[in-house]
Amino acid sequence: MVMFDVRVTERIQMRFLGAATVLAALAVPAVLAPTAQALTPQTVFGTVTCKQGQRSSPPVAAWAVAEKGESGQAKIDDVPGEHGWVKSYTYTTYDAGRFRMVVACGGTAQQPSNAVATAWMKPGRHNLTLNF
């Protein structure tokens, strides 16, 4: 019959318990930590025209209001081959849900003549004709 020294047996048990404790400590944060989710870029874009009856005014600024994400100023550019009152706009943010555009029509970006807000819309292309 083989007899073990009690001290050797205790050291083996302590090493096993130490290793098990380390493994458990490493496993718990992995289980409790939320999984990281990738942010999804969402863009609203298209053309915008401001009209009042037969008269048109140039869009001078646009603000994108995001339902969930970050709101901000949309980029406005001239559309090649179009009149000055037709502009392109684009705005991108992450995980926005829906968008609402607020467009300044006529005047300057600092002092617009009118401001018009759209209804809520999904990301994607929207060619807007806004009546003020």
What was the pLDDT predicted at 13?
46
Max Cα separation, the chain? 108
What was the pLDDT predicted at 14?
45
Domain parsing of the chain, residue ranges:
41-131
Q: What is the pTM of this model?
A: 0.70
Query: Whole-angstrom Cα distance, residue 101 to residue 123?
Result: 11
Query: Whole-angstrom Cα distance, residue 75 to residue 93?
Result: 13
Q: Which numeric CATH code is attached to 41-131?
A: 2.60.40
Cβ–Cβ contacts within 10 Å for residue 44, how many? 25
Please give the chain's pLDDT, 132 residues, in tens: 545 454 544 544 444 445 444 444 444 444 455 566 788 999 999 999 999 888 889 999 999 999 998 999 999 999 998 888 899 999 999 988 999 999 999 999 899 999 999 999 999 999 999 998
Nearest C-alpha neighbor of 132 from the set 67, 50, 24: 50
User: Exposed (0-12), middle (13-18) or buried (19+): which is 40, by Cβ within 10 Å?
Assistant: exposed
